[in-house]
Structure 1
Amino acid sequence: MKCIVGLGNPGKKYEKTRHNIGFMVLDELADQNHWSLTQKKFRGVYTAEHVDGEKVLLLKPQTYMNLSGESVRAFMDYYDIDVEDVLVVYDDLDLPPGKIRLRKKGGHGGHNGIRNMIDHLGTKEFKRLRVGIGRPEAPATVIDYVLGEFPKSESEAVADSIEQSVKACEAWIGMSFNEVMNEFNAK
């Protein structure tokens, strides 16, 4: 069983913001595979699918970013998902738009959604797919920046990072995470 979690904030107001790139990746993954994230429970929206005999679960917590771990923990408990079978997709200020990085574990790096995930999962050792959004230029604050939309000048890079993220998620369904990291971190 594999569980892919996209982090973001619910509602139209946040739909196209940088902080919602995790949701954008899951939406694109679902669209390309003709899946629908329509089931609602565990303070999230999700789908359960099967790919080549592997159960694949996609979850978008609807708790707002800073409480994402509450939804993920309830989801994992219900489906009896081991933490090693979870991949969390989220925005990263330390990567430029267009870049992605996969990691097996790590700290929160100031990301409150990941901080809450660590608190609720009780470990820093869960797989991550970090999608670059870049850093704000002064005088913009980080909060205003992550809750702002991508400018048109970054649309090509953002579309590319979403596409690479979808491919990495699909690869993880049938490959080891080390193989996926070797393939996608090299790009």
Structure 2
Amino acid sequence: MLLVGLGNPGKKYEGNRHNAGFMFADYVVNQQVNSPPFKSGFDCEYCEIKNRQKLIVAKPQKYMNLSGPPVRKLSDFYKIPLSELIVAHDDLDIPLGKFKIQIGTGPKMHNGLDSLDQYLGSPNYTRIRIGVDNRPPERRLPGEAYVLQDFTPEEVQILLDLFPVIYSRMAL
């Protein structure tokens, strides 16, 4: 099983809404007893967790829109079929504090997912759509600008409260 958290690499983007997938990947690794450290390879930070089944958790280290090639390299190396790929990502179509787990469907526009679909040859993998939209109607920023802003401390807490719920719904 391969869990990929989507986001943008580097300190500059660490707290951005676009990095909700990275944040969830970190959460999953931190839930493991004696969690292994992330290592670098395949243009990703990744680690292998061995519980009932092997789980690879990865964070591509290319910008969000270029996530396809690193995920393809990693999935090819470990021979991960699409049926065993889970991708966690931010979703502006879902309010902050909510999520959806779906196969083959997602937001209308998400360049990170478009890159994955292109390089994997199919959109038929599991997506964890993490809601990040908390824009007030009177100050509705364009999505591209909004996702590159940092979460507020209150919004981070909402995610930290949500992640255990998502984790419990995953078939790991």
Give TM-score scaled by structure 1 length.
0.84
Partners of 1:119 and 1:72 in 2: CA distance: 11
What CA deviation, in whole Å up to 9, does each residue of 1:37-65 have, x standing for no partner?
Answer: 4221110011112112x111111100110
Partners of 1:122 and 1:108 in 2: CA distance: 18
Question: What SS is found at the alignment partner of 2:29?
Answer: helix
Mapping 1:1-187, distance limit 5 Å: 2-33=1-32, 34-52=34-52, 54-106=53-105, 109-134=108-133, 136-137=135-136, 138=139, 140-169=141-170, 172-173=171-172
Say whether the 8 Å CA contact 1:101–1:130 is kept in structure 2: yes
Mean CA deviation greater in 120-129 or 141-150: 141-150
Identity of aligned residues (%): 35
Note the residue ranges of structure 1 that are not aligned, 5 or more in a row. Answer: 174-187
Deviation at 1:97, TM superposition (A): 0.8
Question: What SS is found at the alignment partner of 2:95?
Answer: coil
Partners of 1:114 and 1:154 in 2: CA distance: 24
Note the residue ranges of structure 2 that are not aligned, 5 or more in a row. Answer: none
Give TM-score scaled by structure 2 length.
0.91
Say whether the 8 Å CA contact 1:136–1:142 is kept in structure 2: no
Question: What SS is found at the alignment partner of 1:110?
Answer: coil
Partners of 2:18 and 2:159 in 1: CA distance: 12
Question: How many pairs does the alignment contain?
Answer: 169
Deviation at 1:153, TM superposition (A): 3.9
Partners of 1:63 and 1:167 in 2: CA distance: 29
Say whether the 8 Å CA contact 2:106–2:127 is kept in structure 1: no
Say whether the 8 Å CA contact 1:42–1:75 is kept in structure 2: yes
Give the structure with the larger helix fraction: 1
Give the structure with the larger strand fraction: 2
Matched to 2:13, the amino acid is: Y
Partners of 1:96 and 1:65 in 2: CA distance: 21
Runs of 4+ in 1 over 3 A off after TM superposition: 135-139
